[in-house]
Amino acid sequence: MDIAENPPMESSCDISFLKNRRIRVITCVSRIYYELDFGLRILDIRPSTLFLTKYAEYSGSGKIKTPLTPEYWKSLARQALYWNGKEWVSEPAMSSPW
């Protein structure tokens, strides 16, 4: 089984406001960095060194077969879910206005 296709549950553990008017969100398990605009649209996704180290380990042992291509990161962005106050949705949403 390719764990890239069936990942463990993930959550955000660090959210920061950056000087370039972006929001940085770091995931707890995979340590992936997301940068969002203030409308919560994903502008950039970057792997951490820890992510790349684990990817190399799992890829080398055959646990991951999915290559880290630009399409992989675009697909990851399309899978993001947002809480709109009632349910998880695939479009950027805020549960309450700021």
Domain that holds residue 37: 12-89
Q: Is 27 exposed, middle or buried (0-12, 13-18, 19+ CB in 10 A)?
A: middle
List the Cα angle 66/7/43 in 5-degree steps: 75
pTM score, whole prediction:
0.81
Residue 94 belongs to a domain = no
Tens digit of pLDDT at every position of the chain (98 positions) = 455 555 567 788 899 999 999 999 999 888 999 999 999 999 999 999 999 999 999 999 999 999 999 999 999 999 999 988 899 899 998 877 65
Residue 5 belongs to a domain = no
Residue 30 belongs to a domain = yes
Q: 76 — phi, psi (to 5°)? A: -60, -40
Residue 62 belongs to a domain = yes
How confident is the model at residue 6, as a pLDDT? 59
How confident is the model at residue 34, as a pLDDT? 96
Cα gap 54→51, rounded to integer Å: 5
Residue 65 belongs to a domain = yes
Residue 66 belongs to a domain = yes
Residue 68 belongs to a domain = yes
Cα gap 37→28, rounded to integer Å: 20
Residue 71 belongs to a domain = yes
How confident is the model at residue 1, as a pLDDT? 45
What's the residue count for the chain? 98
What is the tally of structural domains in the chain? 1
